Each structure stands twice: as structure tokens, then as C-alpha cells.
């Protein structure tokens, strides 16, 4: 048996589906897994001494890459813990050169379930794993760069995600928020997403988007419902309405067998009245979508997302006519964006009567097509790369209105709820960002979360009292 320890930062207090999928495959193969949230170097050292894992793994995003490398360095070069350190996840997939870092032994690219299971089997048997597909492996001074294996075509061959791995922590035993995913792969290639690189990683994959069967997906939901008293189903697929031939039969079965309210992500140019009607009948409570920007030229030419404002307005009106709440995801601080452009984004959110608006500041992570555009046009300098992870609440895009756009983000959600406040808040964006702006943003963020989830603070308190397990 090989024991895997997945390490997460306490600032990323979320149960990652990727970790749960890897854990389920490893357990199915007879191996042991554990998760540890690192909140101090002392606690991490104590955990590793007690747990004694055979391999230490990190799921790496662009936003936690620097933290991961520092943690790996602490484990390898300060504690001198001699188990291999494995990096997987999006950042490792697109930047496998991280293998050259002294503390990193293995990098897993792409879908990792089969590769990780093979790695664990070889470690158990004491065999070399230099040639395991998907893995870049460091062996002394040699680095073995293995090609990715083919994508898993039939997702039903994989076990359901292992949600028990997180249950050692009380929060994950009582939280009502549980996420599900029915498909993998996205056919679109928006400039602000790494998806275009994913297509390059699997050039011969054909249909990169694959769906689980209705039976297996509903089986997972029903299991979680029975074990965790699930109030709402959150379906996290990037574009849940991508395939109507899959979606419509699923909605009927979901209503018959699960019969819970659910939320999902849609692409608005694929929505029609028949679809809106079916979603409502099945119990759809809220749909989220990428509005990104209210300026069509920015959205179509710079972001490469070919959806018009007219399509957004019509689809939102249609969904709301069926009583489905809508959540718009937005970005500010885009390369070349002006305050006028940002106000167009704000106004479009108001015009569609969004029930909830998420707005983030664009972060020019390395490798994004939009980041390359920003560099090419003098809006960003790669020397700032290491600063991004330290503060994602500021913009690193250089422009005449950048400071005002950063301030506007702090008041954006409030203004969508109370449009008459626009003139005042747009005026005060001229002032320097300060603690009052940040405090206002955090207070309204709490309101946003409850509004998005659809559960009141009182509901959370009542649920916690009923289900909270005080054992560690």
C-alpha cells in the first residue's frame, strides 16, 4: 500500500473535486489517502512526522503556485523529508517546467487519475516510475518528460469522487455546499482561459468534451443526499447546456429521482424557451453565466467570446420569466479597458436585473492568451508575475483608469442592487483605495454569498446546530 498525503493551504478552505477524484482512484487500487490543511510550518512538520506518507502531493493553481513551492521547499530542504513531492493540477499541467525546482520530484500533466494509480502501484512494488505517461519525473540529474496518455473517454469507468477524505474536518461534515460535475472538457477557446492550451496538450483527442451517464451522475448525487442531507445541488460544469441530447433526458430523471433545487452554469447563446422551461420544471433555482464585460468589442475581439449584448439581454429576460434567478460573472481591469467600458459592464448587469453579480479583477497569469495580448500592447510587464499571487485584490494591468477600476470593483455588487447609488460611488472611485473601501467590499461579499447560495444566514446557523459534529 502507498500512502498519499494531499497538502492544502488553510487559505484554500474548500473540498477540491480534483483531489477527491484522485483519492477515489487511489483507494480503489488499495492505497491510502489523507488531506491536511497547512496553517503553520510547525503543524505541517508535526503532521508529516505522524502520518509518514510515502508521497506528498499538491494541487497547484496559478494563484497558489508560490505558496506551493515554498511549502515544498520547506518539506524537502528544511525538514529533509525524503518522500517524493508531486505537483498536479492546472498550473502543473501548463507549466511542467516547475520540475526544475529543487524540491519538486514529479509533475503530473492533464487528467491524473490513471497516472497517479500507476505511480502508486509502482512505488508499492519498488519499481521505477520514470516512464509513467502524464508524468515528468526527476531522477538525480535526469528529467524524464513523458507524453500524456489518452483522455478517459468513458467517464463512468472512474469511481465517484471520494468526499470522505475531507470529512476529518468538522466544517466539511456539516457544510451544506456540495459541488458536482457531469462532464469534462470545453470546446470553446476564450482568451482569458487556459482551455486553448488544454486543446494543444491533446491535439488528437477528437471530442475533448465528455459526459458521464445519467445513471452514474444521479447515483453520486443520491449518495451525497443520503449521507449529507443535501439542500441544493451545485452543478459546476463550465457549460451545462452544451449538449441538449444529454441535458434534456437528465433533467427529467433528476426531477423524478433527486427532486432537489439545483444551480448550474450556462452559456446564454445556447438558451431558448424550451430549455428554460425544462430547467425550471426540473428544479433549477439559479443559473450562472460569464457576462465578462458589457463592452461588446472587448468581449468579442479581446476576450474572444462571441456573445452579443442582445443575446445576453434576451436570454436573461427569458430565464427570469420562468422564475429562474441569474448570476452574472464579470471582470474589470481588462487590457485597454476604460472607466467608460466598466460602467457599460455595470449598466448591463443592472439592465438584466441580475440577482447576483460576481466581479473580479483580471489577473494576467502566465500563459493566458489575454496575458500575451496585454504584454504585446504594453498593458502588463512579466516582471510582476510573482506579485499576482500575493494580492489578487489589485490590478496589475497598466492603464489610465486602472486605479478607478480597482475601486469600482469594491462597490460593483452594491450598485447592481441599488442603481441610484451609481453616481456617488463612481465619483468616489477617484480617491485612493483605503480600508473603508475594502471593509465595504467584504461586508457586501458576505451578502453576495448568501444571495448566491440562496440560503439565509439563519438557515446556516440552524443547519450547523443540527448537523455539526464536535468530534475532530
Would residue 376 count as lying in a domain?
Answer: yes
Range of the domain at 19: 3-145
DSSP string across 319-342: HHHTT-EEEEEEEES-TT--HHHH
Assess whether 226 and 132 both reside in one domain: no
CATH number of the domain that 42 lies in?
Answer: 3.40.50.280
Separation CA 335–CA 399 (nearest Å)? 8
- For residue 300, is pLDDT > 50? yes
Would residue 427 count as lying in a domain?
Answer: yes
Assess whether 195 and 131 both reside in one domain: no
- For residue 158, is pLDDT > 90? yes
pLDDT grade for 450, boundaries at 50, 70 and 90: low
Would residue 187 count as lying in a domain?
Answer: yes
- For residue 461, is pLDDT > 60? no
Q: Give the DSSP letter of residue 33.
A: E
CATH number of the domain that 397 lies in?
Answer: 3.80.30.20
Assess whether 89 and 186 both reside in one domain: no
- For residue 11, is pLDDT > 90? no
Please, what sign has the CA dihedral across residues 295, 296, 301, 302? positive
Assess whether 74 and 176 both reside in one domain: no
pLDDT tens, 166-215?
A: 999 988 888 888 999 999 999 999 999 988 888 888 887 677 899 999 99
Separation CA 426–CA 420 (nearest Å)? 11
pLDDT tens, 110-154?
A: 999 999 999 999 999 999 999 999 999 999 889 999 999 999 999
Instruction: Indicate the residue among 129, 145, 161 that finishes a domain.
Output: 145
**Mean pLDDT lowest among 121-125, 183-187, 281-285, 422-426:** 183-187
Give me the half-sphere count of Cα atoms (radius 13 Å) on the Cβ side of residue 201: 24
- For residue 163, is pLDDT > 80? yes
Q: Which residues contact 17 (CB under 8 A, 6 or more apart)?
A: 161, 179, 181, 236
Separation CA 104–CA 84 (nearest Å)? 8
pLDDT tens, 366-390?
A: 889 999 999 999 999 887 666 665 5
Assess whether 139 and 174 both reside in one domain: no
Count of Cβ atoms closer than 10 Å to residue 151 Cβ: 18
Structural domain tally of the chain? 2
pLDDT grade for 469, boundaries at 50, 70 and 90: very low
Assess whether 281 and 334 both reside in one domain: yes
Would residue 361 count as lying in a domain?
Answer: yes
Number of H helices, E strands in the chain: 19, 15
Assess whether 124 and 212 both reside in one domain: no
Separation CA 340–CA 335 (nearest Å)? 14
Would residue 349 count as lying in a domain?
Answer: yes
What is the reported pTM? Answer: 0.91
Q: How far is CA 426 from the centre of its chain?
A: 30
Sheet holding 32-38, edge to edge: 32-38, 3-9, 55-59, 85-88, 106-108, 135-139, 142-145
Would residue 96 count as lying in a domain?
Answer: yes
Assess whether 134 and 204 both reside in one domain: no
Instruction: Indicate the residue among 91, 113, 145 that finishes a domain.
Output: 145
Instruction: Indicate the residue among 145, 177, 195 that finishes a domain.
Output: 145
Asked if 390 and 422 touch (Cβ cutoff 8 Å), the reply is: no
Asked if 416 and 349 touch (Cβ cutoff 8 Å), the reply is: yes
Separation CA 333–CA 321 (nearest Å)? 32
Question: What pLDDT, on a 0 to 100 scale, did the predictor assign at position 171?
Answer: 85
* Mean pLDDT confidence for 258-285: 97
Question: What pLDDT, on a 0 to 100 scale, did the predictor assign at position 471?
Answer: 40
Would residue 81 count as lying in a domain?
Answer: yes
pLDDT tens, 12-65?
A: 889 999 999 999 999 999 999 999 999 888 899 999 999 999 999 999 998 889
Question: What pLDDT, on a 0 to 100 scale, did the predictor assign at position 100?
Answer: 96
Assess whether 138 and 280 both reside in one domain: no
Question: What pLDDT, on a 0 to 100 scale, did the predictor assign at position 200?
Answer: 87
| Secondary structure class of 292 (helix, strand, coil) | strand
pLDDT grade for 458, boundaries at 50, 70 and 90: very low
pLDDT tens, 334-345?
A: 999 999 999 999
Would residue 154 count as lying in a domain?
Answer: no
Residue (of 29, 186, 13, 22) closest to 123 by Cα position: 29
| Secondary structure class of 6 (helix, strand, coil) | strand
C-alpha cell at 139: 531522477
DSSP string across 46-92: HHHHHH--SEEEEE--GGGHHHHHHHHHIIIIIS---S-EEEESHHH
- For residue 422, is pLDDT > 50? yes
Q: How far is CA 123 from the centre of its chain?
A: 30
416 to 191, 327, 349: CA distances (angstroms): 26, 11, 6
Percent with pLDDT over 90 in the chain: 76
Q: What are phi and psi of 344, to 5 degrees?
A: -60, -40
59 class by beta-carbon count within 10 Å (0-12 exposed, 13-18 middle, 19+ buried): buried
Assess whether 90 and 227 both reside in one domain: no
Separation CA 101–CA 71 (nearest Å)? 12
* Mean pLDDT confidence for 53-82: 93
Assess whether 179 and 225 both reside in one domain: yes
Assess whether 258 and 359 both reside in one domain: yes
Q: What average pLDDT does the structure give for the chain?
A: 91
Percent with pLDDT over 70 in the chain: 92
pLDDT grade for 323, boundaries at 50, 70 and 90: very high
Amino acid at each position: 500500500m502507498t500512502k498519499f498525503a494531499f497538502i492544502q493551504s488553510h487559505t484554500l478552505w474548500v473540498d477540491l473535486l480534483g483531489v477527491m477524484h484522485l483519492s477515489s482512484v487511489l483507494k480503489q487500487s488499495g492505497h491510502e489517502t489523507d488531506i491536511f490543511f497547512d496553517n503553520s510550518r510547525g503543524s505541517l512538520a508535526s503532521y508529516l512526522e505522524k502520518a509518514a506518507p510515502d508521497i506528498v502531493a499538491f494541487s497547484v493553481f496559478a494563484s497558489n503556485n508560490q505558496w506551493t513551492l515554498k511549502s515544498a521547499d520547506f518539506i524537502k530542504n528544511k525538514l529533509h523529508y525524503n518522500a517524493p513531492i508531486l505537483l498536479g493540477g492546472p498550473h502543473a499541467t501548463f507549466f511542467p517546467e516547475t520540475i526544475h525546482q529543487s524540491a519538486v520530484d514529479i509533475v503530473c500533466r492533464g487528467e491524473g487519475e490513471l497516472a497517479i494509480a500507476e505511480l502508486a502501484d509502482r512505488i508499492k512494488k519498488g519499481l521505477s516510475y520514470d516512464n509513467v505517461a502524464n508524468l515528468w519525473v526527476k531522477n538525480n540529474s535526469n528529467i524524464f518528460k513523458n507524453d500524456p496518455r489518452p483522455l478517459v473517454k468513458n467517464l463512468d469507468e472512474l469511481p465517484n469522487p471520494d468526499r470522505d477524505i475531507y470529512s476529518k474536518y468538522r466544517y466539511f461534515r456539516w457544510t451544506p455546499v456540495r459541488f458536482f460535475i457531469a462532464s469534462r472538457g470545453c470546446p470553446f477557446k476564450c482568451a482569458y482561459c487556459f482551455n486553448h492550451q488544454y486543446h494543444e496538450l491533446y491535439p488528437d483527442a477528437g471530442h475533448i468534451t465528455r459526459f458521464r451517464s445519467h445513471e452514474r451522475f444521479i447515483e453520486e448525487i443520491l449518495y451525497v443526499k443520503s449521507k449529507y442531507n443535501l439542500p441544493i445541488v451545485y452543478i459546476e460544469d463550465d457549460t451545462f447546456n452544451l449538449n441538449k441530447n444529454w441535458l434534456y433526458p437528465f433533467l427529467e430523471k433528476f426531477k423524478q429521482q433527486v427532486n432537489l433545487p439545483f444551480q448550474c452554469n450556462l452559456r446564454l447563446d445556447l438558451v431558448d424557451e424550451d430549455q428554460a422551461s425544462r430547467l425550471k420544471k426540473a428544479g433549477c433555482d439559479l443559473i450562472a453565466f460569464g457576462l465578462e464585460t458589457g463592452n461588446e468589442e472587448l468581449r468579442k475581439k479581446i476576450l474572444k467570446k462571441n456573445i452579443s449584448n442582445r443575446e445576453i439581454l434576451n436570454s436573461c429576460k427569458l430565464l427570469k420569466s420562468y422564475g429562474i434567478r441569474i448570476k452574472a460573472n464579470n471582470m474589470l481591469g481588462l487590457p485597454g479597458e476604460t472607466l467608460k467600458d466598466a460602467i457599460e459592464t455595470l449598466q448591463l448587469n443592472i439592465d438584466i436585473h441580475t440577482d447576483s453579480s460576481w466581479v473580479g479583477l483580471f489577473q494576467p497569469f502566465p500563459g493566458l492568451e489575454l496575458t500575451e495580448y496585454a504584454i504585446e500592447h504594453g498593458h502588463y510587464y512579466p516582471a510582476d508575475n510573482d506579485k499576482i499571487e500575493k494580492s489578487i485584490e489589485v490590478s496589475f494591468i497598466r492603464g489610465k483608469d486602472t486605479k478607478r477600476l480597482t475601486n469600482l470593483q469594491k462597490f460593483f455588487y452594491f450598485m447592481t442592487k441599488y442603481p441610484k447609488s451609481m453616481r456617488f460611488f463612481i465619483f468616489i472611485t477617484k480617491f485612493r483605495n483605503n480600508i473603508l473601501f475594502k471593509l465595504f467590499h467584504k461586508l457586501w461579499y458576505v451578502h453576495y454569498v448568501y444571495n448566491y447560495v440562496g440560503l439565509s444566514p439563519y438557515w446556516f446557523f440552524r443547519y450547523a446546530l443540527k448537523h455539526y459534529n464536535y468530534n475532530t
